[in-house]
Amino acid sequence: MPSLLTTHHHHFDLHSADSLPDSYAWTPLDDHRSDGQSHLPIIDLDSPDAVHSIGLACLHWGAFHVINHRIPPDLLHRVLSETTRLFSLPTHRKLLAARSPDGVSGFGPARISRFFDKRFWSEGFTIVGGPPMDHARRLWPDRADHTSFCETMGEYEKAMEDLTGRLMGLALASLGLDKRDACEFQGGLAVMQLNSYPACPDPGRAMGLAAHTDSTLLTVLHQTTDSVGLQVLHRDGRWVGVLPVPGALVVHVGDLLHVISNGRWESVVHRAVVDRDLHRYSVAYLCGPPSHVRVSPASALVGPGREAAAYRPVMWGEYLGLKARLFDGALASISVHNMQNKIKTKNNNRLE
Ligand SMILES: O=C(O)CCC(=O)C(=O)O
Ligand SMILES: [Fe+2]
């Protein structure tokens, strides 16, 4: 179990390290190697087969690349250059926008790091509910510098809202739902996670971001494409390094889409590894439902004469709370099967 002592990391400057401190050295070492590199399925959003191919990609991989997504190349470029500009600030300046101990937005280690004894070779900056004006002003007192960051992130967020709406429509259609059902999930709180993985003197023993699933419906990942950093766990148990496709975006099935699919699609387990020479950046747009929406297995899939619902309904806020407490046990905690077994055990105990 992780020790609570690791919750409050004091800051160590990854950029100046010439060897790996013990607190960053992960074991077992060879678990790091991926069993190969591969392209994820590439979905052309303009193709008439998009619904069908998204369904197959979700079933077999839980992740895919999208092309013809209509996000302007210039915007994609600016998002990564603003991200680079942010993480290139000196540490003392970044700490002016540090995440507060129980807060979400701001600069700090990945939130899942508290579940692990070893530290991650990465830095993160989380943006919640619109451009982070206050933080940006502290990072860049100069007006032109903070407005260009906020405007770019705001523009990207809008573009992502639109893209994830279209992706949800296609994904739900491939589950046999009406595309209009996707509307219910639109307009949720936007969360963007900017990640920086500096070059690392001992990449074979370091971990950029440990294995996890996203607590989202879908996640759209935009990344620098000169190194392979993202790895996904294939259903056959192999870790696969995802070869970047220039111009494409990576889409992950999150835990909530797993619930909607009644467990048909797994939320993809993924992690990020680091490189000896290349500094990698990624921007994850975490797409969740509006806070009042109860997420449950799709009515087209479950009910009398069809499958039994595998999960109870859950709202995003509640699920995030479960994830924060139980981490990779969160999905199991809303599984109907597990709940029924618990009730049975309770009743049996009572009879004894
Ligand atoms: O940087 C990556 O490749 C993965 C990032 C990620 O998984 C996340 O932010 O949830
Ligand atoms: Fe993730």
Q: What is the pLDDT of residues 62-86, one digit of tens each?
A: 999 999 999 999 999 999 999 999 9
Mean pLDDT of 38-59: 96
Q: What residues flank ligand 1, with Cβ below 6 Å?
A: 193, 195, 209, 214, 221, 223, 229-230, 270, 272, 282, 284
Q: How many angstroms is it from 243 CA to the middle of ligand 2?
A: 16
Quick one: average pLDDT of 84-91? 97
pLDDT reading at 242 higher than 50: yes
Phi, psi of 279, rounded to the nearest 5 degrees: -90, 125
In the predicted structure, residue 299 carries a pLDDT above the cut 60: yes
Average per-residue pLDDT for the chain? 91
Residue 254 CB contacts under 8 Å (≥ 6 apart), including other chains: 213, 214, 215, 216, 217, 218, 219, 267, 286, 287, 288
> Given a cut of 90, is residue 102 above it in pLDDT?
no
Atom of ligand 1 nearest to the CA of 282: 1
Q: CA–CA separation, 53 vs 306, rounded Å? A: 24
Residue 233 corresponds to which tokens in the numbers above? 């766990």
pLDDT of amino acid 186? 92
CA pair distance 232, 251, nearest whole angstrom:
12
Q: Which of 49-58, 79-88, 159-168, 333-342 is least confident?
A: 333-342
Active-site residue (options: 280, 294, 306, 312): 280
Residue-level pLDDT at 13: 85
332-338 contacts, C-beta under 8 A, 24 or more apart: 334/259, 335/310, 335/311, 336/308, 336/309, 336/310, 336/311, 336/312, 337/310
Hey, what are 345's tokens? 């055990």
Give the predicted TM-score (pTM) of the model. 0.93
Look at residue 33 in the predicted model and tell me its pLDDT: 66
pLDDT of 136: 97
Q: Is the pLDDT of residue 170 over 50?
A: yes
Q: What is the pLDDT of residues 137-147, one digit of tens each?
A: 999 999 999 99
The CB density around residue 81, as the number of other CB atoms within 10 Å, is 13
Q: What is the mean pLDDT of residues 248-275?
A: 97
Task: Give me the residues near ligand 2 (ion), CB cutoff below 5 Å.
Answer: 214
- The CA distances from residue 106 to 206, 265, 288, in Å, are 24, 32, 19
**Which of the four pLDDT bands, split at 50, 70 and 90, describes residue 4?**
very low
* pLDDT of 338 strictly over 90: no
User: Do the beta carbons of residue 124 and residue 109 sit within 8 Å?
Assistant: yes
Q: For residue range 20-45, what is the model confidence (pLDDT) as tens digits?
A: 999 999 976 556 666 788 889 999 99
Ligand nearest to the CA of 197: 1
Q: What is the pLDDT of residue 345?
A: 75
Residue 347 pLDDT exceeds 80 = no
Q: What is the pLDDT of residue 351?
A: 61
CB 37 within 8 A of CB 243: yes
Torsion of CA 160, 161, 166, 170, to 10 degrees: 90
Give the residue with greater pLDDT, 2 vs 313: 313
* Residues contacting 7, CB < 8 A, separation 6+: 114
Closest ligand to the CA of 196: 1
Q: What is the pLDDT of residue 122?
A: 97
In this predicted structure, the answer to whether residue 105 has a pLDDT above a threshold of 70 is yes
The counts of H helices and E strands in the chain are 9, 15
d(CA 124, CA 135): 14
Determine contact, residues 331/322, Cβ cutoff 8 Å.
no
Confidence of residue 344 (pLDDT cuts 50, 70, 90): confident
Give dist(CA 256, CA 319) in Å, integer.
9
